[in-house]
Amino acid sequence: MTNNSETPLDGPSLSKRSFLKGSAAALGLAGLPLFARGAAAQTGTQGVVSGCHWGVFYGIVEDGRAVEFKPWEKDPQPSPQLPGVMDSLYSESRIRYPMVRRAWLEQGPGADPDGRGAGDFVRVSWEQAIELVANEIVRVRETYGQQALFAGSYGWKSPGKIHNCQTLLRRMLNLTGSYTNSSGDYSTGAAQVILPYVSGSLEVYEQCTTWNNLAENCELMVFWGCNPLNNSQISWQVADHGAWPGIARMKDAGTPVICIDPVRTETCEELNGEWIAPRPQTDVAMMLGIAHTLYEEGLHDQAFLDRYTAGFDKFLPYLLGENDGTPKTADWAAEICGLPADTLRDLARRFASKRTMLALGYSTQRQHHGEQVHWMLITLAAMLGQIGLPGGGYGLSYHYSSGGSPTHTTPILKAVDDASGQSTEGAAWLAGGGAVSIPVSRFVETLLNPGKTMQFNGHEIELPLIKMAYWVGGNPFSHQQDRNEMLRAWRELDTFIVHDVQWTASARHADIVLPATTSYERNDIEQVGDYALSHIVPMKQIVEPVFEARSDFDIFADIAEKLGQGYAYTQGLTEMDWIRKIYEAAKIESRAKGMEMPVFDVFWDSNKPLAFPVAEVQEDFVRHADFREDPLLNALGTASGKFELYSVAIERYGYDDCPPHATWMEPIERLDGPDTKYPLHLAANHPQMRLHSQLCGTVNRESYQIAEREPCWMNPADAEQRGLSDGDVVRVFNDRGQMLAGLKITDEIMPGVVRINEGGWFDPENPRQIGSLCAYGDVNILTTGIATSKLAQGNCGHTGVAEVERYDGPLPKVTVFSQPSA
Amino acid sequence: MSAALNSAPAPERGADPDLELVADWLALQFLTPPDAARIEAGRSAQGQAALREIGTFLGRPDAAETLCGKLADGSAQDVTVALQRRYTALFEGIFRQRGLPPYASVWDGTGRLCGPAVGRMQGLLRGLDLHLAETCCEPADHIAIQLAALAEALRQGNSELISALLDELAWVGRFAAFLTVADGNGYYDAVAQLLSAFLEKAKQN
């Protein structure tokens, strides 16, 4: 910590008499601990390889300062967000020092909870901060029990096998006791729970039929709420951007494309697709209408259904209306989804007559009863009978991270584990662990209802009493829905601790804030492409840590040491020891696969990613082809080994909001819904120039903000009806809250829908007042906090309706990015 | 400080030692929030007298009087808390009001922290045969480092570096003006006035 109490520089003898020389001592001016004698060596310009969610890049460094992040020359489509990545390193909103909320520090845990977010922080030394955190962990555990400490910290932490801050948090806590964990995620919370019942695996994070195969075999590509040319800018590991050459091949092949979406997407634009815009949240009804037409016209593949699926006979009476009196005809569906019935019938005929790939995106299941969407799409694909054929069937991972980019032959890098004794390979964030585990989006509900029994995926959870939350590598004040309900819930916490790099809304609402390094201030190692796995990249430290930032690894090592588990936490290994160990394990694995990786030092010093080959069979991979070829030998992981269009297990659960076959159920609110109060649907899409809330506090914002606010897209007809003009500052509101936005009028969005991207930083005009107007534009003020159903308990980030009006009041300044007035 | 500093280059010209002291004092104001010891020193009779001497030296006795008044306004603990709170609000930029980060890069048009000013300052520190101490976590364009470097240049009597450092401090005029607006009639407003007066005097020296 920079302090003011050390010995000063002492200068040469004075050449003039000083009138003030007595003042120095009187003012306590013992000296400034800023300098040491001797000129530092000047370094020339260097390019240092690293990687991030946006891809591989070289950090260009001059005299110890990063001046540019330059894309890797082999990146097929560098992300335009990369300048913002460098900006995050030097952002004005960078957290510079350990800080503690004054009321918490002076009056103790739980003091003045209304004051969270209002600001008053005290800078403390690292030593004091570590002591405060360690003591509070002990106090909460001793006073309320292990479960009272929530460490289900979730979010898009930076990539890397060492500095996975969420794993490191749990490692420290597992070594010193226990905690309440979370399971699942916000991206695919509903789909990832129901799909194991339907197709026997997660699907949404598994490889789908490759773009190469589609270009050669697909005759009709349907992007259903699926926009890879936006969302493949990013990957959970280091992005490979393989979607771009993949889609280029499809474009060259001239494959006809249909895009079903309330927004005309980048993918639709690039492929000159046919844009079909049903009412949002009515996908299941639309699919049922198509399915009914298939059956009515004898276009379904009964042989496929007989051989490869189970339960169609129990679904069919519902489809035909035999058990509820409502046949799910195209006309019935048209009334709900807002498209002409003839369009639905035409889609059924085209799907059946062509080799059709149904590519479904994640947003469709982030809605009330979202489980039904993926189930119904698979039911529809099963009726078409093309699953497992080249260029046909369905794909659930084209949506992001370049799913469909062929998988290379590569070892899998291990990672620092959480010391729980459980395997963390694969989708680590889906694992349970801890004293208790709750569905990740149910944290607010848990805070407000300790002791309540919650149904979840066939079992019951007694919601624990939580008094302390520890968050690293995430921003719950962005990704959680219904911000005002969340603020009420946060009042229940004694203590909220956050590590972050920038003053996000979560950091602002914390009691203890610890400045963490970015990936660019530390060393790590990672693989390139979540599906491609094409390279291993040395994530080399580009610059020294700025201000007083420390790595999460070091922070938790100090806390573990304070709690008597320092060695167990580090195992006596340094950062570079860990990296070498992980690399060398991969080297052994690669040898078993017939490859020879260079020794570690050669790899590290090469300053470039290490490439792996791709086999021909992987270039042409077809999802479920092996199952189609031999459904007995390659049975699916379901109870029957087949696609389950009716689930006996789900039937046994008896959930009123998740029936045992794909079913249309009205969400709590939707565009033109029967009981819906507000007239406009909120499309809370993934943004184009940031990763959820990451990079909102950077230079990238200048490329999209309107009147310094988050944009709100609106169709010209809706704008005219409200007398609104392009560039207006508007108030968007419903019964849950209110926010400002900058209006963009465009015919790239359907009437009745407004688009406000999720991830805008929450900027309440009066942080002490729940319901205060958000000056910047956090759309999750307006979306609902309810769960998808008792089955998955996923979030409903795409369920929300609102009204929009011109804002004529005095405009509150946007201050969340801490820009100076200059 | 290390003994090696005693081998600093011989001065090219005689500098005003009072300027050096004031530069160091101003640097301290911006480096960290004040601790209790610093507040106690400023509240003491000698401390108050010293502040008035600085005010007189810079031709701003009114600003010094404001400082004395603010430091004596309440118990030492209350004043410490109030000024720590004010420092954090003004310079650490995490509150509803906009912060005023005390870094040249934020004010010179770069638009972010750690801009080219850091590189230029590192060059000037080399000229002074200095580098940032390991305990210092601030980038070299922090106003405290720029002022402390100027103090050292004045001690060394290095006209070229004094001139270059005063050029580097050109952004401070706008910073001080905004600080006055942001702080009203507060402690840091008075510091801003003394800072501006100091730079004027240093240029004339």
Structure confidence by residue, pLDDT tens digits, A414-454: 999 999 876 544 444 455 567 789 999 999 999 999 999 99
Cβ–Cβ gap A34/B136 under 8 Å: yes
Instruction: Name the residue in chain A with its Cα closest to that of B5.
Output: A37
Residue A14 pLDDT > 70: no
Verify whether the Cβ–Cβ distance A39 to B129 is below 8 Å: yes
> Is B32's Cβ below 8 Å from some Cβ in A?
yes
Task: Kindly state the percentage of chain A with pLDDT values over 90.
Answer: 90
| pLDDT for A659 beyond 50 | yes
**Interface probe with A: pick from B7, B13, B24, B165, most Cβ of A within 10 Å:** B24
Marked catalytic residue, from A58, A104, A156, A713? A156
Strands of A512-515's sheet, edge to edge?
Answer: A121-123, A99-101, A512-515, A495-500, A468-472, A149-150, A180-183, A436-439
A757 appears as a binding residue in the annotation? no
Over the stretch A167-206, which tens digit does the pLDDT of each residue have? 999 999 999 999 999 999 999 999 999 999 999 999 999 9
Find tokens 């229940």 and name the residue. Answer: A492
Residue among B38, B81, B155 whose CB faces A11 most closely: B155
For residues A705-721, average pLDDT: 98
- Among A220-234, A427-441, B54-68, B148-162, which is the least confidently predicted range? A427-441
- Decide if B19 is inside a domain: yes
Q: Which chain B residues are closer than 8 Å to A37 by Cβ?
A: 1-2, 4-5, 7-8, 129-130
Contact between A27 and B51 using a beta-carbon 8 Å cutoff: yes
pLDDT at B99 (0 to 100): 79
- Overall fold of domain A96-184+429-522+556-572: Rossmann fold (3.40.50)
Average model confidence (pLDDT) across chain A:
94
Cα nearest neighbour of A7 on chain B: B1
pLDDT at A660 over 70: yes
Is B16 within 8 Å of A508 when comparing Cβ atoms? no
H or E segment at A696?
none
pLDDT higher than 60, residue B11: no
Those of residues 495-514 in A touching chain B at CB distance below 8 A are: 503, 508
**Would you tell me how many other CB atoms lie within 10 Å of the CB of residue A107?**
11
Residue B138: which of A2, A38, A699 has the nearest Cβ?
A2
- CATH fold of the domain at A194-406: Dimethylsulfoxide Reductase; domain 2 (3.40.228)
Minimum CA–CA partner of A14 in chain B: B17
Q: What is the CATH number of the domain that holds B138?
A: 1.10.3480.10
Using the beta-carbon criterion (under 8 Å), do A65 and B98 form an inter-chain contact? no
Closest C-alpha to A288, from A370, A379, A364: A379
Q: With an 8 Å Cβ cutoff, are A40 and B6 in contact?
A: no
pLDDT at B12 over 80: no
Question: Known binder of ligand: residue A731?
Answer: no
In a domain, B4, yes or no: no
Whether B107 maps to a domain, the answer reads yes
pLDDT at position A12 = 34
What Cα–Cα distance (Å) separates residue A365 from each residue in A198, A372, A424, A780? 15, 8, 26, 17
Question: Which two structure tokens, joined as six digits, stand for A228?
Answer: 């890879």
Q: Is residue B146 part of a domain?
A: yes
Instruction: Compute CA A677 distance to the chain's CA centroid, rounded to the nearest angstrom.
Output: 30
Do the domains A680-806 and A194-406 match in fold?
Answer: no
Residue B127 CA to residue A65 CA, distance in Å, equals 19
List chain A domain ranges: 96-184+429-522+556-572, 194-406, 680-806
Interface of A with B in 107-166 (CB under 8 A): 118-123
Residue A18: pLDDT band (50, 70, 90) is low
Confidence of residue A821 (pLDDT cuts 50, 70, 90): very low
A366 annotated to a ligand binding site: yes
Is the pLDDT assigned to residue A404 strictly greater than 80? Answer: yes
CA A509 to chain centre: 20
Residue B148 touches chain A, beta carbons under 8 Å: yes
* Strand spans (E) along A401-515: 436-439, 453-456, 459-462, 468-472, 495-500, 512-515
A41 in contact with chain B, both atoms CB, cutoff 8 A? no
Q: Could you say which residues from 650 to 689 on chain A have a Cβ atom under 8 Å away from some Cβ of chain B?
A: none
pLDDT of amino acid B97: 57
Q: Is B156 in CB contact (< 8 Å) with chain A?
A: yes
Residues of A in contact with B42 (CB under 8 A): 27-28
| Residue B22 is assigned to a structural domain of this protein | yes
Q: Quick count: other Cβ atoms within 10 Å of Cβ A808? A: 9
Contacts of B7 in chain A (CB under 8 A): 37
> Is there a binding annotation on residue A164?
no
Q: Chain A within 8 Å of B89 (Cβ-Cβ)?
A: yes
Residue among B27, B53, B72 nearest B191 (CA): B27
A36 touches chain B (CB under 8 A): yes
Partner-chain contact B126 A40, CB within 8 Å: yes
* Structural domain for B35, as ranges: 15-204
Decide if pLDDT at A19 tops 80.
Answer: no
* pLDDT confidence tier of residue A92, bands split at 50, 70 and 90: confident
Distant-in-sequence, close-in-space partners of A641: CB < 8 Å, separation ≥ 6:
A200, A631, A632, A635
Strand partners, A445: none
User: Which strand (E) or helix (H) includes residue B188?
Assistant: helix B187-204
CB distance from B68 to chain A under 8 Å?
no
Cβ contacts of residue A574 below 8 Å, gap of 6+? none
**How far lies A295's CA from each of A359, A397, A660, B187, in Å?**
22, 28, 20, 80
* Interface predicted TM-score (ipTM): 0.86
Contact status of A423 with chain B (Cβ, < 8 Å): no
B184 contact A CB<8A: no
A323 is in an annotated binding site: no
Q: With an 8 Å Cβ cutoff, are B88 and A123 in contact? A: yes
Question: Is residue A154 annotated as a catalytic residue, yes or no?
Answer: yes
Q: Which two tokens stand for residue A530?
A: 């979540």
What is residue A13's predicted lDDT score, i.e. its pLDDT?
37
Residues 761-790 of A with CB under 8 A from B: 767
Ligand-binding annotation for A780, yes or no, is yes
The model's pLDDT over A43-84, given as tens digits with 9 standing for 90+, comes to 889 999 999 999 999 999 999 999 999 999 999 999 999 999
What string of H, E and C letters represents the secondary structure of A554-596? HHHHHHHHHCCCHHHHHCCCCHHHHHHHHHHHHHHHHHHCCCC
User: How many separate domains does chain B show?
Assistant: 1
Higher pLDDT, A21 or A64: A64
Query: Which residue of A13, A14, A16, A35 to mutate against B (max B Cβ within 10 Å)?
Result: A35
**Mutation choice for A interface testing from B44, B78, B136, B191 by most A CBs within 10 A:** B136
Distance from CA of B150 to the nearest CA of A (A): 12
CA separation, residue A574 to residues A522, A541, A548 (Å): 12, 14, 20
Chain A positions in Cβ-Cβ contact with residue B145 (cut-off 8 Å): 34
CA distance B98 to chain A (A): 5
What is the per-residue pLDDT across A313-356, written as a single tens digit (0 to 9) for each?
999 999 999 999 999 999 999 999 999 999 999 999 999 999 99
Q: For A512-531, what is the mean pLDDT?
A: 98
Half-sphere exposure for A661 (CA within 13 Å, toward CB): 19
pLDDT score for A708:
95
Contact A63 B95 (CB under 8 A): no
Residue of A nearest to B50 (CA): A23
- Is B101 part of any domain? yes
Architecture of domain A680-806: Beta Barrel (2.40)
CB atoms A26 and B157 under 8 Å: no
Instruction: Please give the DSSP secondary-structure letter assigned to residue A263.
Output: B
Assess B177–A contact: CB distance below 8 Å, yes or no. no
Range with the lowest mean pLDDT among A580-589, B101-110, B144-153?
B101-110
Residues from chain A contacting residue B144 (CB–CB below 8 Å): 32, 34
3-class state of residue A235 by DSSP:
coil
User: Counting runs of H as helices and runs of E as strands, what totals does chain B give?
Assistant: 11, 1
Establish if B8 belongs to a structural domain: no
CB distance B119–A29 less than 8 Å? no
Interface check B47 vs A, CB under 8 A: yes
> Which residue of B35, B46, B126 is in closest CB contact with A42?
B126
Pairwise CB contact (< 8 Å): A11 & B20: yes
Would you call A497 helix, strand, or coil by DSSP?
A: strand
Q: Does A3 touch chain B (CB under 8 A)?
A: yes
Q: How far is B156 from chain A (nearest CA, A)?
A: 7
The yes-or-no verdict on residue A25 having pLDDT over 90 is no
